[in-house]
Amino acid sequence: MSSLFKKRKHGASAGGDTRQSIAEARKNLPVFKFRSEFCDKIKNHEVVLVTSETGSGKSTQIPQYVLDMTSLTRAFAICVTQPRRVAAITVASRVAKERNCRLGSEVGYRVRFDDKTNPSTKLIYATDGMLLRQAMLDPLLSAYSVILLDEAHQRSLQTDVLFGACKRAMEARKKSQGKAKNLPPLKVVVMSATLDIETFLAFFQGAETIKIPGRQYPVQIIYTKEPQEDYIDAALCATLQIHEDSEEGDILVFLPGQEEIEDLALLLKSHLDETANLTKSLTGDVVQSLRGIGTDLSKTANIVNGVLVCVLYAALPPEMQMFAFQPKPEGCTRKIVLSTNIAETSVTLQGIRYIVDTGKEKSREFSSSTGMESLHVQDISKAQAAQRTGRAGRVSKGFCFRLYTEDAFETLQDTTTPEILRVNLAQVVLQLKGMGVEDPLKFEFITPPNPQSLKSACQHLFALGALDDKMQLTDYGSKLARLPLDPTFAHLLLQSEKYGCTAEILVAVSMLSAENILFRPSGDQLSEKAAEAHRRFASHEGDLPTFLNIYRAWRTEAIYTSSRKSKEKKNKESGKGKLLHGEWCRRSFISARAMSRANDVHHQLRAICTRPVDRNGLGMDVSKSCSEDMEAFLKCVCAGLFLQSAERVKETKQVDETGGVLSSTRKYRTKVGNRPVSIHPTSTLFGRNPAPKCVVYTELVTTKKTYIRGVSQIRESWLNEVAPQFFSISN
């Protein structure tokens, strides 16, 4: 293996963590010295901005300081927002442990499709999206006396909207509305690792600031000599090189997304295995468990040649994430964590001394001219590179290997563009309308989005029927807003009533929310096996019908007890001839964790759909089923996703003297935006002969070209039928 970096020796050793009691450890965190200063400030001011290094105790400690100020909390709860569900869950668990209480009692969390709070929970960690939903139902946010907006520097879409929503609530509570309800003033704490203080001070005028110096050892930065073409390959080489040449200390590798992480995990494990001269021919089962597909993945499956390889990304269920946070097991010499930008600031990993930074992240981009959103791999900003580097200096001197040249670093943007400037704002507009904001263009945004993006979001919602021609929220729009889904998928779900297929669409939407249901291993033999296993579910009508097949097969063939029910007695009788969930998934090459997540989402969505309208539900009959009538199902899919339809490109070719032949290609053009796209290779419709004439899709992915994913076949004539106003205008 060629070397990316010069060989290097060093003598520093990792400073081991002394075993301290939790109480003592809390006192040793950098924020502790600022406790009384913080308490004074929050007592006497409405807004306090806190900045400090990751790991200094913002997320876990400051909310507890507030919680212990009984004068502030009294009959009210406090809410801490996190842009990511992983962070909300892990931080809440940590705080519950520190306070020696059960998670869901005094301390709890609230994330999409999972609520671990009870009516007396005082400290709630929530995703920013969940608090925003609450602001829609109750714009005064009257359950809370203090709201802490964490990870403010990430400038996630929902956090950005929350800044405005909190400001509105603060103002309203000072006026008669709040007084009438006898609400105390709302206080806001903004917390961040690297805050652009000026922007926040301009927005929250008169805010107090506290800057807490971090504990940071020097980190040596090493750039590559040459630009790297393949960052996965480069990350593999760098990680193995560090492992072979360097002293103890764990390695954290930053990669753009889940796929890259799982690919690299497999590559690393097989290379580590080779160096151990162990059996090279991994059996299917071993590779599957390496990939973390089984639910009862044992730790040892991830330890190869004394090295523990862990993965960390937002879609990973919390139980699986715990591996990355736990100390190395006995006999393990090194831990390698492969993570997305989630480990940049949201979570704290102990013992990291080496960073491998690919310089990439995955992010959404929206084009207001074409009205389309897509997922890109793109370069990080200089601020993010610095954050990543800092992760290596927590225990002792560290090293950061940047898989790009110093010149490339100089070309990076200084800071990350706020998400609100990059994404489809349909959901934001719907939320603002739900909160009673008349004109979203006049809403106080910390960074106002492009007015054109807001307009195209309004058009999108108008096309779905969520807004009327005066841009007022319709009854249908307020129903859409009740679902914790993107407005397009909420619309898809609501359309199912009309087509009599609510049961089926609920399944399809849940499977889509779970992401990466199908397990596609690399390696010729295995991938062939997986393809064969998947063939049994494949519908020639597309990916959504395929999801339905998978779910139905799983329901009839597998025994599954969700953690919710695990304590109830298992019904052994009904399990005869069935396989256990993990085993069924293994044999079917289906991701067990994605499947159980889909099942969870299904459960929650079903509850919202069934709940009566006057209790903020939708009062739907979820048992309405089209059973085998695929036409009804596909028509509904068409009605739900009509804004995401694409038509196959026709080409006329003169073939021979017999005359012109209309030959068709495998290229498509989107109906909205007229953008050239191709069916993604992972779709069941990829390579189908003949290629379907007209399709709808759930997602655009741009790499070198633009692909559509989640593709289902439709009839073109349906488009006029399901959305006559829209297609007659655009035609």
Query: Which residues would be at the binding site for ligand ADP (CB under 6 A)?
Result: 29, 52, 54-61, 90-91, 94, 325, 348
CA-to-CA separations, 681 to 23, 161, 376, 633, 688, in angstroms, rounded = 53, 36, 17, 24, 11
Least Å distance, CB 445 to ligand ADP, is 25
Least Å distance, CB 154 to ligand ADP, is 12
Residue 686 contact among Mg ion, ligand ADP, none, beta carbon within 5 to 8 Å by kind? none
SS (H, E, C) 453-481: HHHHHHHHHHHHCCECCCCCECHHHHHHH
Query: Does the protein bind Mg ion through residue 59 (CB under 5 A)?
Result: yes
User: 147 with 166: CB under 8 angstroms?
Assistant: yes
Question: Between residues 313 and 519, which has the closer beta carbon with respect to Mg ion?
Answer: 313
Element (H, E) at 146: strand 144-149
Whose tokens are 């809390």? That residue is 26
The encoded tokens of residue 731 equal 């035609």
Comparing CA positions, the residue from 221, 216, 213, 247 lying closest to residue 393 is: 216
Question: Between residues 30 and 449, which has the closer beta carbon with respect to Mg ion?
Answer: 30
Query: Does the protein bind Mg ion through residue 61 (CB under 5 A)?
Result: no
User: 695 with 679: CB under 8 angstroms?
Assistant: yes
Peptide bond into 545 cis (omega under 30): no
Contact letters (x/-) for Mg ion, 370-389, by CB under 5 A? --------------------
The distance of Cα 705 from the centroid of its chain, to the nearest Å, equals 23
Comparing CA positions, the residue from 228, 241, 250 lying closest to residue 271 is: 241
Q: Is the dihedral of CA 275, 277, 279, 285 positive or negative?
A: negative
Least Å distance, CB 104 to ligand ADP, is 17
CA dihedral 109, 112, 118, 122 (to 10 degrees): 40
Question: 316 to 335, contacts with Mg ion by CB under 5 A?
Answer: none
Size of the residue set binding Mg ion (CB under 5 A)? 2
Question: Between residues 58 and 391, which has the closer beta carbon with respect to Mg ion?
Answer: 58
Least Å distance, CB 25 to ligand ADP, is 7
Residue 131 contact among ligand ADP, Mg ion, none, beta carbon within 5 to 8 Å by kind? none
Q: Which residues contact 654 (CB under 8 A, 6 or more apart)?
A: 660, 661
Comparing CA positions, the residue from 272, 247, 261 lying closest to residue 353 is: 247
Residue 52 contact among Mg ion, ligand ADP, none, beta carbon within 5 to 8 Å by kind? ligand ADP
Question: Between residues 228 and 348, which has the closer beta carbon with respect to ligand ADP?
Answer: 348
Least Å distance, CB 318 to ligand ADP, is 11
- Residue nearest Mg ion (C-beta atom): 59
Tell me the one-letter amino acid at 629. D
Question: Between residues 59 and 427, which has the closer beta carbon with respect to Mg ion?
Answer: 59
Least Å distance, CB 345 to Mg ion, is 7
SS (H, E, C) 269-328: HHHHHHHCCCCCCCCHHHHHHHCCCCCCCCHHHHEECCEEEEEECCCCCHHHHHHHHCCC
Least Å distance, CB 59 to ligand ADP, is 3
The distance of Cα 140 from the centroid of its chain, to the nearest Å, equals 28
CA-to-CA separations, 620 to 86, 407, 616, 673, in angstroms, rounded = 31, 58, 12, 34
Residue 64 contact among Mg ion, ligand ADP, none, beta carbon within 5 to 8 Å by kind? none
Residue 183 contact among Mg ion, ligand ADP, none, beta carbon within 5 to 8 Å by kind? none
Question: Between residues 61 and 241, which has the closer beta carbon with respect to ligand ADP?
Answer: 61
Question: Between residues 318 and 500, which has the closer beta carbon with respect to ligand ADP?
Answer: 318
Number of H helices, E strands in the chain: 28, 26
3-state secondary structure of 67: helix
Q: For the chain, what percentages of helix, strand and coil (3-state, to nearest 5) are there?
A: 45, 20, 35
Comparing CA positions, the residue from 325, 275, 320 lying closest to residue 301 is: 320
CA distance 547 to 553: 10
Tell me the one-letter amino acid at 466. A
Residue 60 contact among Mg ion, ligand ADP, none, beta carbon within 5 to 8 Å by kind? ligand ADP
Question: Between residues 24 and 171, which has the closer beta carbon with respect to ligand ADP?
Answer: 24
Least Å distance, CB 207 to ligand ADP, is 19
Residue 546 contact among ligand ADP, Mg ion, none, beta carbon within 5 to 8 Å by kind? none
CA distance 690 to 702: 25
Least Å distance, CB 6 to ligand ADP, is 32
Residue 145 contact among ligand ADP, Mg ion, none, beta carbon within 5 to 8 Å by kind? none
Q: Which stretch binds Mg ion (CB under 5 A): 53-61, 461-469, 485-493, 630-638?
A: 53-61
Least Å distance, CB 57 to ligand ADP, is 4
Question: Between residues 392 and 432, which has the closer beta carbon with respect to ligand ADP?
Answer: 392
User: 152 with 190: CB under 8 angstroms?
Assistant: yes
The encoded tokens of residue 355 equal 């960073």
Question: Between residues 32 and 409, which has the closer beta carbon with respect to ligand ADP?
Answer: 32
Least Å distance, CB 325 to ligand ADP, is 5
Least Å distance, CB 262 to ligand ADP, is 23
Question: Between residues 184 and 318, which has the closer beta carbon with respect to ligand ADP?
Answer: 318
Residue 56 contact among ligand ADP, Mg ion, none, beta carbon within 5 to 8 Å by kind? ligand ADP
Question: Between residues 57 and 294, which has the closer beta carbon with respect to ligand ADP?
Answer: 57
CB atoms within 10 A of CB 570: 12
User: 695 with 646: CB under 8 angstroms?
Assistant: yes
Least Å distance, CB 90 to ligand ADP, is 5
Question: Between residues 52 and 596, which has the closer beta carbon with respect to ligand ADP?
Answer: 52
Q: Which stretch binds Mg ion (CB under 5 A): 51-59, 63-71, 113-121, 200-208?
A: 51-59
Q: Is the dihedral of CA 4, 6, 9, 10 positive or negative?
A: negative
Residue 90 contact among Mg ion, ligand ADP, none, beta carbon within 5 to 8 Å by kind? ligand ADP
Least Å distance, CB 61 to ligand ADP, is 6
Query: Does the protein bind Mg ion through residue 93 (CB under 5 A)?
Result: no
Question: Between residues 54 and 239, which has the closer beta carbon with respect to ligand ADP?
Answer: 54
Residues found near Mg ion in the complex (CB under 5 A): 58-59
